């Protein structure tokens, strides 16, 4: 999340929400993570046969 905050200039609260939403979608859908054996978070969830709603958020 720091990467998103450090690379964007937010013009309003609505602008911030839109940019953060787009960043989160890219981060979870298109960026492979070495800690997940090269899977994106969404791909990794699919390999476990679980749904995002069944995960507990810790932060």
CA atoms within 13 A on the CB side of 2: 0
Per-residue pLDDT tens for 29-47?
A: 888 989 998 999 889 888 8
Taking residues 2-21, what's their average pLDDT?
88
Question: CA gyration radius for the chain?
Answer: 13
**Is the pLDDT assigned to residue 57 strictly greater than 80?**
no
The three-class DSSP label of residue 53 is helix
**Is the pLDDT assigned to residue 52 strictly greater than 70?**
no
Taking residues 16-41, what's their average pLDDT?
90
Global confidence as pTM: 0.61
d(CA 2, CA 14): 19
- 20: Cβ contacts below 8 Å, ≥ 6 apart: 1, 4
- 36: Cβ contacts below 8 Å, ≥ 6 apart: 43, 44
């Amino acid at each position: 999340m720091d990467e998103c905050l450090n690379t964007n200039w937010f013009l309003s609260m609505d602008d911030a929400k839109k940019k953060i939403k787009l960043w989160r979608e890219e981060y979870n859908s298109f960026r492979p993570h070495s800690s997940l054996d090269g899977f994106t978070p969404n791909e990794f969830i699919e390999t476990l046969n679980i749904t995002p709603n069944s995960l507990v958020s810790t932060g």
